[in-house]
Amino acid sequence: MYKILKAEKLNEIVYLMVVEAPMVAKHCQPGQFIIVKLDDAGERIPLTICDYDREAGTVTIVFQPIGASTEKFAKLQTGDAFEDFVGPLGCPSEFVNEDIEELKKEKILFVAGGVGTAPVYPQVKWLHEHGIDADVIVGAKTKDLVILEKEMEAVAGNLYVTTDDGSYGRSGMVTKVIDDLVAEGKTYTRCVAIGPMIMMKFCCLTTKKYDIPTIVSMNPIMVDGTGMCGACRVIVGGEVKFACVDGPEFDGHLIDWDLAMKRQQMYKTEEGRALLKEREGDTHHGGCGNCGGDE
């Protein structure tokens, strides 16, 4: 069992949990993810890693309930436990294995959308700890849905918060902020965009205009997470890649977004049904826990 040392509701729809998982905490790197399963009958749900403490042996996960299983996770309290918690999975972010001195010459921009702020955080933190301050755009629908602002502020170079409805920070989509920053004379040598698929797609279209190489993190449907099932196929540069072992981070300018978004829909109807059934108190069956969806 993997004990939940802290369970916190960050806002109406986003939850944070600190989980005891020493082996994962010891080996994980920014960019990687874990798979978690509640109980015997539960689904294997992939979630991104938001933070880790190697000494304490803990891993922090952040999620937004969107399916039957993640709805169950949301009900867990401090002291409860997950039956299974496995990782780290996927490849670390590219820069983790790059030359630090070369990296220092770069100007990196992170674009985080909604709950995607969580996986961006350990990347910005890692760079900060290696003496590199990256600019970060955090976007959310509205003020209450901005997460990890204080944490991000502590490790980012410049932090730009924006809300779709203008209730906090700048006003408008993250893509508008990218345009504005470039118009203000900022230049970036690379961009990392993580959030809902539609947001990543439009970020890539925007950065393409300015020729900024852009990495995105895919979170498709998975079962085992070790390459065995092939459910997480994405087309990158015309080639089939498995997000779990080849990714989850890919060159966003090479991704076939329309196909990826269609695949994302796969369990949508079943998921809706499952959620409905659970609300009705019926025994539910099926429903993708974390297909990412687009809110």
Partner 1 sequence: MGNVLEKVPVREQDPQVRATNFEEVCLGYNKEEAMEEAARCLNCKNAKCVKGCPVSINIPAFIHEVKEGNFEEAYKIIGQSSALPAVCGRVCPQESQCEGVCIRGIKGEAVSIGKLERFVADWAKENGIKPEAPAEKNGHKVAVIGSGPSGLTCAGDLAKMGYDVTIFEALHQAGGVLVYGIPEFRLPKDKVVKEEVENVKSLGVKIETNVIIGKSTTVDELLENEGFEAVFIGSGAGLPMFMGIPGEVSNGVFSANEYLTRSNLMKAFREDYDTPIVTGKKVVVVGGGNVAMDAARTALRLGAEVHVVYRRSEEELPARKEEVHHAKEEGIIFDLLTNPVEILADENGWVKGVKCVRMELGEPDASGRRRPVVIDGSEFEMEADTVIMSLGTSPNPLISSTTVGLDINRRKCIIADEENGKTSKEGVYAGGDAVTGAATVILAMGAGKAAAKGIDEFIKNKAK
**What one-letter code names the amino acid at 26?**
K
Stretch that binds partner 1, among 121-129, 151-159, 174-182, 281-289 (CB under 8 A): 281-289
Q: Does 270 bind partner 1 (CB under 8 A)?
A: yes
Q: Does 245 bind partner 1 (CB under 8 A)?
A: yes
Alpha-carbon distance 268 to 52, whole Å?
Answer: 31
> Which C-beta is closer to partner 1: that of 132 or that of 255?
255
Q: Does 230 bind partner 1 (CB under 8 A)?
A: yes
Stretch that binds partner 1, among 101-109, 125-133, 140-148, 284-292 (CB under 8 A): 284-292
Q: Does 43 bind partner 1 (CB under 8 A)?
A: yes
Q: Does 104 bind partner 1 (CB under 8 A)?
A: no
> Which C-beta is closer to partner 1: that of 135 or that of 246?
246
Using an 8 Å Cβ cutoff, are 160 and 168 in contact?
Answer: no
User: Site for partner 1 (CB under 8 A): how many residues?
Assistant: 47
> Which C-beta is closer to partner 1: that of 11 or that of 29?
29
Q: Which residues contact 152 (CB under 8 A, 6 or more apart)?
A: 112, 117, 120, 121, 124, 136, 138, 159
Binding to partner 1 (CB under 8 A) within 194-223 occurs at: 223
Q: Does 94 bind partner 1 (CB under 8 A)?
A: no
Q: Which of 170, 229, 253, 254 binds partner 1 (CB under 8 A)?
A: 229
Shortest Cβ 81–partner 1 spacing (Å): 13
> Which C-beta is closer to partner 1: that of 12 or that of 55?
55
Shortest Cβ 111–partner 1 spacing (Å): 26
Shortest Cβ 281–partner 1 spacing (Å): 15
Q: Which of 216, 274, 275, 290 binds partner 1 (CB under 8 A)?
A: 274
- Contact set with partner 1 (CB under 8 A): 23-24, 26-27, 37, 41-44, 68-69, 83-89, 223-224, 226-231, 233, 235, 240, 242, 245, 259, 262-263, 265-267, 270-271, 274, 283-289
